[in-house]
Homo-oligomer: A and B are copies of this chain.
Amino acid sequence: MKRKHQSIDAPQRVRMIDVARAAGVSTATVSRVLSNAGTVKPDLAERVMEAVRRTHYVPDSTGRALRRQRSDVWAVIVSDIQNPYFSRLVASIEQIATANGLSIVLCNTGEDLDRERRFIANAISQRMCGVILTAASEADENVELLTRARIATVVVDRRVGSYEGDSVLLNNVLVGRLAANHLIERGHQRVLCLFGPSAASTTFDRYLGFQAAWTEAHRDRHGLQLVETNIHAGGARQATASALARAHPPTAIYAANAVLSMGVYRAVQESGRRMPEDVSLIGTDDADWTTMVSPQVTLISQPVEEMGTRAASILLERMEDPDGEPHHVVVSPSLIERETTGATIAP
């Protein structure tokens, strides 16, 4: 019996030593062949490859990871995998990871800082070679852990406090500006703006951008009603309903995230108002429903796949060169004009 502590019936796995024996070489040679060291004579290398095939050898990543002090795995930490934005992000990252022989472990924080911390501890414990993080808050203590552990990291979607490493962010100020300008151009004077919880940097920047554009256009700031609601569509629905019921209802509504957009659309439909004749709507983020409904939703769209792809590419680079200059990519949103906003309204 060659190996101890092995139960009798468990089929023994083929190890590198078995391949080595089958090929009549040492494990060092097998290892060199498999990792393309290129320092092995062609005929020997071929003999090894032949033995690999004959024995159905599958390298054991756990041994490899221990020896190399890192495993070929990325952690992708997002706040809600069910949000289409994040599933598209994850899908685009996964594609690049897989193409480079890496696996990704999916971590769903649900915006919970404590879960985030545990996922990061886990990434460190498993000696993962990279992390892509959409942080649950601006607090930087969690991402600090990664920096200290010297794990290649790219922050995506949300800014993190004093973090200075690689990041791929959306120009969220521009998101707000695009929305504001579109409505301003069409003559709107009374606008309801709905934002999500302001903990996220995305929310705050959109708010900033909208307000800046409004002010620059010399619009009366009293015409702007800014509401911060919770992340559920219900809040937006209610806020919209009560705003529409007032004496001087808004002529346009801006919903600063995907969930809010659904709530607002529903509320407007329920109120019996027509879009865009009675009230205009600008939403945020592509989603199936925005083109299935009638009228289709005018919205601000993010280049999600691009963000995922850029983040993954940067992470690959960073793994090669841990101490290079950090990349700070900022991508731009775009306005997709459809049917919930229309012609210029009377002043």
Interface residues of chain A, those whose CB is within 8 Å of chain B, are 10-11, 58-63, 65-66, 69, 71, 73, 76, 81-82, 84, 87-88, 90-91, 94-95, 98, 103-108, 115, 121-122, 124-127, 148, 150, 262, 265-266, 269, 287-289, 292-294
Contact = CB atoms under 8 A, between A and B. Distances in A.
A171 to B, nearest CB: 24
B94 A88 contact: no
8 contacts: A58-B124, A60-B125, A73-B105, A81-B94, A82-B88, A90-B106, A106-B106, A289-B289
User: Most B CB atoms within 10 A — which of A81, A84, A103?
Assistant: A103
B262 A292 contact: yes
B127 A61 contact: yes
How many copies the complex holds: the figure is 2
Contact of A288 (B62, B104, B127, B262): B262
B58 A125 contact: yes
B103 A105 contact: yes
A115 B58 CA distance: 16
Contact of A98 (B88, B115, B121, B266): B115
A66 B5 CA distance: 13
A224 to B, nearest CB: 27
Contacts of A69: 62
Contact of A11 (B87, B103, B104, B150): B150
B94 A61 contact: no
A43 to B, nearest CB: 27
